[in-house]
Structure 1
């Protein structure tokens, strides 16, 4: 009788864990320090001075993508769109912003910028 109860409890725990992990395995969960639900909207830039592509290592889900977009879009005169599937962020600049500032904004989150190029 006790064995059946233990097996039943284990089955319930395993099913609950799998259901809770479903979003994570789809790349929708908050695996990188948060839910990723709050998103800073990209700014409309009247003038685009430059467009740069940042190649980024370490993005593995939509939450990673949102974190990088939020960090870049939180900067003045920056409109960024990241893609965790491509491992990149396309950044439109409304002012001359040093590449090192863009790199620092991403790398302080724990990701690695492998290259920055003009688009």
Structure 2
């Protein structure tokens, strides 16, 4: 093996190690697949009676960061507490004030996820 070939092999190894590590993290649901820093939702509680609960089926979630983004942005709405299940690809949204379902849909789809269906309980 000549020096040029050895250099190329070393460069390829240096480039591939971070790519393989990132792919492995992504497959375990730990990567930042949707870009930006990891978002941590703040646990939100609301006093008062829950008016209703909606189960939202969502496509496009791949990692913990996706889950956190959806929870964080839904929880920013007044009168809403959300709990997202990444494995089931659902969000259970508890609503404590009068609100149209389209508001929930708009927040999720505004984050580039797809709302497949919404079921009121």
Fold equivalence (TM over 0.5): yes
2:82 matched to 1:80? yes
Tell me the residue number matched to 2:108. Answer: 106
Correspondence for 1:46: 48
Distance 1:113 1:37, change over 3 A: closer
Q: Give the SS at the match of 2:78.
A: coil
Over 3 Å counting, the alpha-carbon distance change for 1:45 and 1:57 in structure 2 is: farther
List aligned pairs for 1:1-119, cutoff 5 A.
1-119=3-121
- Identify unmatched segments of 5+ residues in structure 2: none
Higher mean displacement: 6-15 or 38-47 = 38-47
Q: Matches of 2:26 and 2:73 in 1, distance apart?
A: 22
Q: Bigger shift: 6-15 or 37-46?
A: 37-46
Q: Residue 45 of structure 1 contacts residue 77 of structure 1 at CA under 8 Å; is this kept in 2?
A: no
| In 2: Cα distance, 1:75 partner to 1:29 partner | 26
Rate the CA distance shift 1:107–1:37 in 2: closer, same or farther, 3 A.
closer
Cα separation, 1, equivalents of 2:23 and 2:70: 23
Distance 1:45 1:68 in 2: 22
Distance in 1 of aligned mates of 2:84 and 2:21 = 28
Q: For structure 1, which runs of at least 5 residues remain unmatched after alignment?
A: none
| Alignment partners' CA distance in 2, 1:37 and 1:104 | 19
Secondary structure, in 3 states, of the residue corresponding to 1:90?
Answer: strand
SS of the aligned residue for 1:45 comes to: coil
Aligned residues: 119
1:24 is displaced (CA, Å) by 1.6
Please give the per-residue CA displacement for 1:6-34, whole angstroms capped at 9, x wherever unaligned.
Answer: 21221122123212333222111111122
